[in-house]
């Protein structure tokens, strides 16, 4: 009799503990393996979540720190959204047991540096978003362990320095977004290993110098966006070294120095079949002052005129000199012949007499 009275209580307690496995501030749909804790004003990571959760949304909260092994109890995660928080520190190994994680979004936080162990245990990751943070530099091998990454978004940080082999081992990466950073130069070796890269977004930096061989490793590149930088001149070989099937290159909103050299580079690039200068008609001149504001396409036919005139003058001068020399020689020959003829005649005459 007493036992029958206790039984429903036990069942209820079990139900309660089951319910409690979804932390306060979260909405768990166990059949879908989802936990939605977005927009919850969370300042700390939530309590227990169903251990089989695969998709965890913690976006738009007020998280500021991710400790080591922060997601130990939900190690089957495939998607982890941490975007739009206030995260400034990520401990080494924070994502350490997440061996199934495919997508990690840390966009719009305050991350200023990535520790050497940031990527520990993220060997399955396909997509990493770190857009709109405060990163200033990418260290050599900073993204190790990310051997299967396809998309890396580092746009709108303050990255001014990218060390050689910063993207080392990312031989599967297809998209790299570095838009809106503070890069000034692209040095050789920066993009080594990125042989699968298809899209490279570099627009909105301060790039004024590009080493000639820097794009050579990018044998799959289909789109190279260099718009909105500080380029005033380029070398033909910089783009010729792209050994791809076909690559579209964007170069508008750069302060081009419109002279004959530039015109020649673009004319030669235009004749390379695999390269497409999609926005050539939008390129405008910043230098020399008399061409400021003109579109390169409007003036390109005239840029080499001065050179052409000089070449013409030199050619004509040389021609005149040569012709004059020939004429002089001819005249000399003739007058010598005449002289000879005259002397011969004279001797004949003396003989006759
Ligand atoms: C975000 O974190 C900074 C310190 O890193 C703190 O000063 C600021 O108040 C935090 N903002 C919010 C909205 O929590
Ligand atoms: C990178 O992130 C920014 C900001 O979230 C977004 O606007 C941009 O489209 C992303 N880049 C790519 C290639 O998806
Ligand atoms: C050229 O610039 C115009 C106006 O800014 C824009 O609408 C157009 O898409 C640009 N063309 C290319 C090929 O980028």
Residue 3 is predicted with a pLDDT of 46
State how far the Cα of 294 lies from the Cα of 286, in Å rounded to an integer: 8
- For ligand 1, say whether the CB of 144 is within 6 Å of any of its atoms: no
Residue 339 is predicted with a pLDDT of 65
The residue nearest atom 4 of ligand 3, judged by CA position, is: 282
8 Å CB contact between 192 and 173? no
The residue nearest atom 3 of ligand 1, judged by CA position, is: 86
- For ligand 2, say whether the CB of 153 is within 6 Å of any of its atoms: yes
- Counting ligand 2 atoms within 8 A of each CB, the residue from 131, 174, 175, 222 with the most, and so the one to mutate, is 131
Does 18 score more than 70 pLDDT? no
The residue nearest atom 11 of ligand 1, judged by CA position, is: 86
Q: Give the chain's domains with CATH numbers.
A: 21-125 (3.80.10.10), 135-321 (3.80.10.10)
State how far the Cα of 127 lies from the Cα of 313, in Å rounded to an integer: 61
Whole-model pTM: value is 0.83
Picking from 108-112, 158-162, 306-310, 341-345, which range would have the lowest pLDDT averaged per residue?
341-345
Picking from 104-108, 114-118, 156-160, 231-235, which range would have the lowest pLDDT averaged per residue?
114-118
Residue 100 is predicted with a pLDDT of 94
Share of the chain above pLDDT 70, in %: 87
pLDDT digits (tens, 9 = 90+) for 307-341: 666 667 767 777 777 778 888 888 888 777 766 66
State how far the Cα of 186 lies from the Cα of 203, in Å rounded to an integer: 13
- What is the arithmetic mean of pLDDT over 177-182? 97
Could you identify the atom of ligand 1 that is nearest to the CA of residue 62? 14
Angstrom CA distances, 238 to 183, 241, 269, 304, stand at: 17, 6, 10, 22
- Counting ligand 2 atoms within 8 A of each CB, the residue from 150, 155, 156, 159 with the most, and so the one to mutate, is 155
State how far the Cα of 46 lies from the Cα of 82, in Å rounded to an integer: 13
Picking from 57-66, 193-202, 327-336, which range would have the lowest pLDDT averaged per residue?
327-336
Residue 4 is predicted with a pLDDT of 47
What tokens were used for 64? 């500021």
- For ligand 2, say whether the CB of 59 is within 6 Å of any of its atoms: no
Residue 353 is predicted with a pLDDT of 42
């Amino acid at each position: 009799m007493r036992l029958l009275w206790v039984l429903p209580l036990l069942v209820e307690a079990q139900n309660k503990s089951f319910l409690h496995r979804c932390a306060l501030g979260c909405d768990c749909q166990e059949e879908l393996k989802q936990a939605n804790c977005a927009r919850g004003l969370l300042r700390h990571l939530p309590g227990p979540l169903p251990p089989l959760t695969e998709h965890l949304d913690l976006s738009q909260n007020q998280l500021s720190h991710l400790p080591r092994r922060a997601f130990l109890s939900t190690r089957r995660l495939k998607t982890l959204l941490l975007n739009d928080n206030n995260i400034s520190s990520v401990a080494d190994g924070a994502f350490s047991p997440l061996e199934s994680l495919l997508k990690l979004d840390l966009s719009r936080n305050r991350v200023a540096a990535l520790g050497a162990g940031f990527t520990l245990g993220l060997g399955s990751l396909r997509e990493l978003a770190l857009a709109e943070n405060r990163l200033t530099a990418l260290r050599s091998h900073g993204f190790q362990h990310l051997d299967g990454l396809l998309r890396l978004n580092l746009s709108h940080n303050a990255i001014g320095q990218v060390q050689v082999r910063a993207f080392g081992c990312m031989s599967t990466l297809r998209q790299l977004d570095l838009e809106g950073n503070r890069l000034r130069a692209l040095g050789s070796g920066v993009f080594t290993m990125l042989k699968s890269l298809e899209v490279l977004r570099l627009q909105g930096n301060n790039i004024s110098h590009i080493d000639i061989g820097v794009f050579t490793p990018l044998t799959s590149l289909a789109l190279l966006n260099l718009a909105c930088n500080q380029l005033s001149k380029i070398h033909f070989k910089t783009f010729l070294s792209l050994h791809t099937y076909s690559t579209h290159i964007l170069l508008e909103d750069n302060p081009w120095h419109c002279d004959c050299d530039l015109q020649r580079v673009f004319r030669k690039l235009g004749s390379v079949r695999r390269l497409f200068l999609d926005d050539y008609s939008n390129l405008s001149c910043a230098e020399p002052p008399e061409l400021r504001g003109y579109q390169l396409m409007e003036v390109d036919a005239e840029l080499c005129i001065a050179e052409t005139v000089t070449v013409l003058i030199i050619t004509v001068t040389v021609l005149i000199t040569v012709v004059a020399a020939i004429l002089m020689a001819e005249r000399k020959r003739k007058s010598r012949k005449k002289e000879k003829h005259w002397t011969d005649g004279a001797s004949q005459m003396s003989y006759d007499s």
